[in-house]
């Protein structure tokens, strides 16, 4: 092969590669970047902590039992207001250690009302585990876990439990994109996170 032919082949290869966008090929790295940049994936998990009189169906939830076991809340039986059913009702209050735990978790803009939306965990991507591509569509399977943001999050969410989700990608004229909302087919990232399956 002549030296000139090799130089021309090299230049042609460079021109071909420069015409391709990094988003033209669905790879695990691209899928990882798009999942991590999704607002749905980055959204913090919040726990709605209600104090005051609660109905019998709300108070004995697993989350409230965990908070009570940690000594952050206490509850006494209370008379049910007319709008609350079923009895019995419970008057839930924060203990002194609960006030400290909530204070460290509460966003600065919230006031100290009886309903607090506490950010308790964020998602951490463990990895993309597979890509099933068919033409201009692909399903990307990935695993993730909750990472607690504070001691309340650590009590409610295990950092050891991992989840498996599958999200749809489609190829557009400017490259591959992850579906942020449901279209005709495929699962959006929001649905993928809601339908996550725990990995045993």
Tens-of-pLDDT digits for all 200 residues of the chain?
566 655 555 555 544 444 445 567 899 999 999 999 999 999 999 999 999 998 887 777 889 999 999 999 999 999 888 888 778 899 999 999 999 999 888 866 555 667 888 999 999 999 999 999 999 999 999 999 999 999 999 999 988 899 999 999 999 989 999 987 765 557 788 888 888 889 88
Q: What is the DSSP code (8-state) at residue 25?
A: S
Q: Which alpha helices (H) appear in the chain, and where do they start and end?
A: 3-19, 28-36, 39-42, 62-69, 96-105, 151-156, 189-194
Quickly list DSSP for 158-191.
Answer: -SS-EEEEEEEEEEETTEEEE-SS--SSS--HHH
In sequence order, the β-bridge partners of residue 188 are none
Sign of the C-alpha dihedral, residues 146, 150, 156, 161? positive
Kind and range of the H or E run holding 117? strand 115-134
Contacts of residue 144, defined as CB under 8 A and 6 or more positions apart, other chains included, come to 41, 123, 124, 125, 126, 162, 163, 165, 193, 196
Q: What angle do CA 118, 122, 123 make, to 5 degrees?
A: 150
pLDDT of residue 19: 46
Domains in the chain: ranges and CATH: 24-44+121-199 (3.10.450), 46-119 (no CATH)
pLDDT at residue number 164:
95
């Amino acid at each position: 092969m002549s030296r000139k032919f090799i130089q021309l082949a090299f230049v042609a290869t460079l021109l071909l590669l420069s015409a391709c966008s990094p988003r033209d090929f669905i790879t695990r790295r691209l899928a990882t970047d798009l999942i991590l940049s999704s607002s749905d994936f980055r959204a913090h998990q919040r726990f709605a902590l209600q104090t005051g009189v609660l109905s019998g169906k709300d108070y004995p939830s697993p989350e409230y039992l965990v908070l009570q076991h940690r000594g952050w809340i206490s509850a006494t039986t209370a008379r049910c207001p007319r709008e609350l059913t079923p009895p019995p009702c419970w008057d839930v209050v924060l203990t002194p250690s609960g006030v400290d735990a909530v204070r460290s978790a509460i966003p600065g803009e919230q006031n100290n009302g009886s309903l607090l939306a506490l950010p308790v965990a964020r998602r951490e991507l463990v990895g993309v585990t597979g890509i099933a591509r068919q033409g201009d569509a692909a399903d990307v399977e990935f695993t993730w876990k909750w990472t607690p943001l504070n001691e309340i999050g650590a009590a409610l969410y295990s950092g050891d439990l991992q989840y498996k989700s599958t999200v749809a990608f489609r190829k557009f004229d400017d490259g591959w994109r992850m579906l942020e909302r449901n279209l005709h087919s495929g699962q959006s990232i929001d649905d993928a996170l809601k339908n996550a399956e725990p990995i045993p």
